[in-house]
Chains A and B, each alone.
Chain A
Amino acid sequence: MAAAASSTFPAPCHHLPQLHQNHTKSLSSLFKPKSRTTNFSIRPLSISPKASLSDPFVLQIAETLEDSNSSSSLKQSPILQKLRESSSESILSLSWPTRKDEPFRFTDTSFIKNSQISSISPDPESTLIDFESDGDDDTQTPNIVIVDGQIVSSLSKLDELPDNVYVGSVLGIDSDEIREKVMKFVSNFEDKDLFWSLNGIGAPDVTIVFVPSDCFVEKPLLFRFYSHETSEIGSSNLPMSNPRVLVLVEKGGEVGIVEEYLGGAEDKCYWVNSVMEVLIGEGGKVSHTYVQQQAPSAAHFKWTSVRQESSSTYKLVEVSSGGKLSRHNLQIQQVGPDTITELSTFHICVRDQTQDLHSKLILDHPRGVAEQRHKCIAAHPRSQVVFDGNIKVNRLAQQTDAAQLSRTLLLEDSATVNMMPNLQIIANDVSCSHGATVCDVDDDQLFYLLTRGIDLATARKSLIFAFGTEVMSRLPCDSLQKKVERHIQRLLDPTPS
């Protein structure tokens, strides 16, 4: 992993932490303006040279995002600088996706393109906003509230974490060791796409989760993401926020991460473009939960990029129901043998909305175990479901045991489902299976319930709900599971008896 990192970012990795250290520790504030000036110069440098070759819409967003970040004098750190620099570089060659681009063949992003994207000015006062928790009892869990991409410390509770675990802003890291590692790994990802890079430019902060060797974090870390700056429905303005989280789990470390994206008001428009990078050291374990319940008119883009070293375990449970357009790009790269990867995702469309999962699992080492199950419900005539699930079993990934199953419940004739499950297997000694189904509620199950006197509507409803419970039952704690189940039940049946 180290080799890969240094080849991607050779010089700045070692150079910049040094700088940062000087600023924060020994030099007076006199030097800060200077460093800020240096940073400012990056923007024109990075964007202007090849501007004529680039997509003007993309450049416009990038500039808007850069402007908002450079105006915040406090947010200067070599790590953020590196992130923005590399993101700005890559953005020059990227254009806004169209239906002709394979990754967006079935996903219509024109609704974003037709909007005026605005950035969100960092607002330290947003701490005062009352983001009331939804009555659930999560006081026990360490939690982090992130509003428009920024941690709101007054609403976050992190006091129960073990020593040496760091959770917080990239600016608050007080250990050189952690800072160096973060520097090395931030945005350490080769398959950057436009949205990944836009996040890199626009992220006001990077929230870091650092779990040292052999450290077991007992309680899952709950991240709650809110969008404060929004626009009214019908307005052409679309405020964009770019939360970013980097999870570093060292050898033998273990942590649970719960991401909850909460929409709040029904009538708000916004775009969340979130990125999470996860690096799991040898034998480490990460249990990742991702719950997406954005407002019905929101756009939600999400990147999850995971690197798994040998014998590590990564488990994901996702339940996505919100947003007008929701896209999850999930990429897992195996960088050592004997890894375990378990992906369980559940998407549901109950409105005129799109739910899209593009997952890619790349196995390059022997004896990996991978299990992916994706379930989807298209319950509205204009719902669109997209699944592109790619598992690559490369030459060296012998004795891989991989299984992929995607099942979609298509409840309306005019709903659209696009399934592209694909396994690319080069290794010759593997056991791989995959399957995909698209169907309505099972007739035999339905009849069974009817013969017990349950009316058709109730029977269908319970079978539809049951379809998702296979995934929802894997949610890590009971309270979260109940909460998510209630939410799904409300979506399926807005007027409960």
Chain B
Amino acid sequence: MNNSTSRRLALLAILAIAMVVVPAVTSLPAGIAGVKDSGCNCHGTEADSSVTASITGLPETYNASETYAVTVSFSGGPSTDGNMNLGGFNLWASDGTFSTVDDSTQLWGPSEASHTESGNDQRSWTVDWTAPESGANVNFILHVNSVNGNEGNGGSSGDMWNRADVTVLGFGDAPLPEVDPFKVLATLVVISGVMLSIVVLYIFYRKNPDSFDWENFSPWISEWLTSTDHKKIGTLYFVQGLFFLGVGGIMALMIRMQLAVPGNDFISQDYYNQFFTLHGTTMIFLAAMPLINGFANWMVPLQIGAPDLAFPRLNAMSFWLQPVAALLIFTGVFSGQGADTGWTGYAPYVVTETTHSGVSMWAAGQLMLVASSTLTGINFLTTMAVMRAPGMGWFQMPLFTWSILVANLMLFLSIPAFGVGLIQVYLDRTIGTAFYDVASGGDPLLWSHLFWYFGHPEVYVVIVPAFGVISEVIATSARRSIFGYKSMVYAMAGIGLVSFIVYGHHMFTSGMSPTLRFITMLTTMLVAVPTGIKIFNWLKTMHGGSLVYRTHTLWTLGFLVTFTLGGISGMFFPSMGMDVHLHETYFVVAHFHYVLVGGTVFGFFAAIYYWYPKMTGRMLDERLGVLHFLTAFISYNALFWPMHRLGVVGMIRRTHTYYITTDDFNALPEWAADWNMLISMSAFLFFASNLIMVYNMIKSLIRGDKAPADPWGGWSFEWMTASPPPTPSFDPHNLPELKDANEHVANEPGIFGQIFRRLMVSDDAAEEESH
């Protein structure tokens, strides 16, 4: 940047500041030195206490729009009778309007009055003041001049002035000006977007400060926008995921502001409904899934020793469908017509005319995400099936890779149902088909089935990769091999299988046959078995180990605490006698935030601290990391733990307000309001604490210590490459070969291993075919 450009920018900045500041300085007469502060500049510079100014006729508390005759007067000072310029006044009010009653006064504006030429020889004047409607307190500032009339000889010397301040109380708090909540959201999103761009620019600048110009920036940015490298796409997914985690978080804060006190009207129910809908959709599809895909993209090829994914261009397409889908999902918001159906979008409400028009675009955006997820599924399953490094059988894959395999298998098999449902909804809304129109014979429950057939595996799709992360981190941190590698894999596969037969518990209260109720109750409880195996295996891994406390270790232990609690609270739902009371209450909200935030998000925070050095070649600041963990873990629990209790006493989900018990009826107990306030405050703390991590990542990227290839002492292939890894990640002509500390494992698979191998494409068969 040359000098003249910077001068121009500086000038523009000064102009911009001036434009903001100038209107502000004239708005208060008492604020800035000038005419008002010195009474009148021709009557001396210091106020004189021998002049007494007074205002009468004002009430103590005004009524809206009522007109009061206000008399201002003064006494004392040098003025003498017969003096043509006996005195003058200036009266300013912070609100309301003045009007004159005779020709002795005039107005300088709607809320500023003064004397006229003909009112120049009086000691008292009267004006009418009409009170405002706002109900806010109104301040009056009166300046009076007492004049000795000697201007003929000696000018205004000896004149005196003084001021008086009066406050008239309003009839209530001034209502704050209405702000469109979407404008707040949009502003915050734009600010985040601008900050993100600045970070991107700054990173580019730091790469090479001398080449900070368009000629160098253009190829650099287009490389990012068109790359098919799994690491670059992984980073893009990751940035998108974190960005939308912030956006979803802001929406959660709006929801919590509304619920902080009962009967609140911070945002209207119209906006509230859109916020909780988009909060759910954003967090699941635009935050959690991209975060997972970010790490999957980065780590799966590295962990299995592959140069890239099997279909790099398909991978790029999977990613670029995401931001476009995000735009579609948010399209309604920009016109105040965001989706307001809940993330579950229950039929037939989702196809009725009382919904916002943004629902169609919301469905269309999710359809693109269905396409994106399907392509990702094909890509990862193929990569793992055919691109494992020599020596790596299925049962030598690192557990994170296994978790991505299970997650993608689940997603791949379940998401078509969601796609079909979305197409039906979209067609119902746009061209008038009647899949869900009850009057024409449509079946609303069909949507519930299609949605939950996908929806339940989906929540496991977002938690299973976190299991993979925890398995990696806990083994490395305890300096041990993971306990029960095979039972870990079977447990994940078991969760994958069970996930398809439990979705009925979302429809316990939708009218279900008694037999199915019982079956679903049992299958839902079954989830606890594989999950329990995983938790006990993690705990046993630490046995006899030597736990090295790093930030990712802390997050992993935090995960074990919160996820176990979430798992236990999950056991309350299958028991239907209890579930009919807990269904759709905050107990559910508490449970799934314990497993999705305390599980998925904590797991991926661990992943960030664990793999960040590998991804960027820079170490994160451990002290900031520990600070982040402590603040986030405490505020997180204060945020979600009280929700259990609120759910049990009957606070239901997705409502704009809640009712507190009165003399006439029972509802929530009085303490529920205090707890909601606590939850809302903790929500802000939790949000703020995560900014520490963002700051840490940016700071470390620029100034962090250089990372070695294997900072934590892990065993899998990603630690073999440099930090950051080269492109292609491994030389295709010289792939690494996995050695095995126990030879018999590769040659003698156990009985389950043999069955499982028969189900999968075996390495030998694939190899034979290729020859």
The answer on A and B forming one complex is: no
Query: What is the interface of chain B, defined by CB distance below 8 A to chain A?
Result: none
